[in-house]
Structure 1
Amino acid sequence: MKVLNEPGVLARSERFFSTPSATARGLFFYVTRVGHYYYDERYNFLDSCDVAHQDSHKNFFLAYVRSGTMYFETSQVFTAERGQVALIDCHKPHRFFTSGSAESLWIHFDGANADSFFSQIITFRGGRQTFSPVPDGRIEQEMAQIISGLRSANMSEVDCSQRIYRILCSLLFPNPQHGRMPENDAIAKAMQFIGVHLFEQLSVRRVAEAVNLSPSHFSRLFRSTTGFSPHEYIMLHRIDEAKALLQSTSLSVKEIAFRVGYRSEVNFITAFTEKTGNSPTQFRKNTL
């Protein structure tokens, strides 16, 4: 529907509402309102206005800027320019505004583990709330499809949920695994190196040196690509190897601990129990 009487929002703008089903609220990601807005310098959305207190607004806000610049105030002040995405938690104080002409696609969404996704994305991105997505247009296309689906009323809640999930994954893991970027190759080589040397002492520095990266840059790149810190990846990989040995061999727990790179049986049992919910002995009994 066309937008009327919203200061700073031009007449050719569109906005649509969506009321999620009980199933969607319990299981899916879902949108509550979406829009394709054209702005002038008067646009100034404050969280003290009546709209900001409606349920359809009090969730998470994602805006893709197609032209111009949008300004945001949350716990920090930042901008999103052409081709950039801003992600906001509208449960908390916020303000959006422009200083000239701009255009954006935006969605208000919630559901499933949206709050966890939001927290992880912000953490992985070093606290930033504006991002430059990979230049393949995926996020813009997914948002445009969601808006188009609500305009024509022919998008299912499952389809909408899947599109939101893909957007969030793109923000969480911005480096595509399938790309030919040298840095992605470095992470693939690092994972291969870890697999070969899993039984040895493996520090972040050692793995980073094996792929010719500094430890700090390697750690950031590894997390943004895989979702794990290098330390966590090594530990989980060791536990996966231990599961296979517990299930397929008669090696003692101590022998398995040393086989997968632990220098202490106690440390191995503690880590295994923490990550799986069972001690190695219990795991072996439950899988026989």
Structure 2
Amino acid sequence: MKIHETGVAAPSEIHFHTPSEQARQLFFYPLCTGHFFCKKNYCVRRTSYDSFLVLYVACGKGYFEQGGKYLPLKAGSLLLVDCYLPHHYGTEDEWEIYWLHFDGPLARRYFELCTAGPVFPAGETANAARYLRQVFNMFHLRARINEALLSRHIVDLVTELLVYRTPEQGIARNASMIDGVIGYMREHVSEPLPIEMLAARVCVTPYHFIRLFKSETGLTPHSYLIRLRVDLAKYLLKTTDLPLKEIADHTGFCSAGNLCTAFHRATGATPQTYRLQKKE
């Protein structure tokens, strides 16, 4: 499509997309994407543009401003912006950029997870830039627009940025520790699993263990264990005719009363009701 923006030179391209209702409800979806060759007077200043922006600097340099902060953008760097807020970017030199405005039901959550700052430096953005170009090329090559495939490319892009934002050895080590504990909990779900014993397996204090566990899973160890036990009870109720006392023994609740209390609190139904519903 022909470009009418000041400072945008040939052979720049822009493509717009109107997502289906299904895409709006289920997918990440593009609103517009482009490949621009810009002169030194190129500037974008908006109070709002309801979407999130990924911008990759293929060549040249530019800048980004938001919330009173001015950030330079070098060749190879990538920018991720919440365009629901006022923002300003452009070039005082010249640059070549690929960009994508996108949104989706989970877009804000992804954005919040992967932005400690909006600029991703050169040398760490090659894969994300590749996914960005794949979205652009679906329009550039006039390929059949497959919204599920577009969504996958965008998910791959933002996931790449999310992975970049959390590479620290300490974070990876904590995740590995908690994954090991969760594996142990699954294998020994019918046994008593006191916090002190689980914390000792990873050589930290119970207090520190609870903090680490909740940071990684969003739940306390006790709440996570109850969820594991209730999920196993659901499976046994659906697939066996075991009496409640035996199911309680298999799931670590020890008594039918404890099983019924925990099951009702988690699901809103009694084990007996759940079993009858699944057999209808």
Give the TM-score taking structure 1 as reference length: 0.66
Mapped to 1, the partners of 2:91 and 2:188 lie a distance apart of 53
Partner of 1:153: 142
Where 2:235 maps in the other structure, the secondary structure is helix
1:58 and 2:47 aligned: no
1:166 and 2:159 aligned: no
Mapped to 2, the partners of 1:91 and 1:150 lie a distance apart of 25
Where 2:6 maps in the other structure, the secondary structure is coil
Where 2:99 maps in the other structure, the secondary structure is strand
Partner of 2:186: 195
Partner of 1:107: 100
1:142 and 2:131 aligned: yes
Partner of 1:94: 87
Where 1:281 maps in the other structure, the secondary structure is helix
Give the TM-score taking structure 2 as reference length: 0.68
The alpha-carbon deviation at position 157 of structure 1 amounts to 2.6
Alpha-carbon contact 2:229-2:252 (below 8 Å) kept = no
Where 2:109 maps in the other structure, the secondary structure is helix
Alpha-carbon contact 1:70-1:102 (below 8 Å) kept = no
% same residue = 22
Query: Bigger radius of gyration, 1 or 2?
Result: 2
Partner of 1:269: 263
| Structure 2 gap segments, 5+ residues each | none
Paired amino acid for 1:154: A
The alpha-carbon deviation at position 102 of structure 1 amounts to 4.5
The alpha-carbon deviation at position 147 of structure 1 amounts to 0.5
Alpha-carbon contact 1:18-1:33 (below 8 Å) kept = yes
| Structure 1 gap segments, 5+ residues each | none
Count of matched residue pairs: 262
Mapped to 1, the partners of 2:122 and 2:231 lie a distance apart of 33
What are the Cα deviations for residues 133-178 of structure 1, in whole angstroms up to 9, with x where unaligned? 99584422221111011012114233223322333444556679xx
Mapped to 2, the partners of 1:82 and 1:140 lie a distance apart of 12
Alpha-carbon contact 1:242-1:260 (below 8 Å) kept = no
CA-atom RMSD in angstroms? 4.4
Alpha-carbon contact 2:30-2:101 (below 8 Å) kept = yes
CA 1:90–1:260 in 2, change beyond 3 Å: closer, same or farther?
farther
Alpha-carbon contact 1:121-1:171 (below 8 Å) kept = no
Mapped to 2, the partners of 1:218 and 1:133 lie a distance apart of 34
Alpha-carbon contact 2:76-2:123 (below 8 Å) kept = no
Alpha-carbon contact 1:63-1:85 (below 8 Å) kept = yes
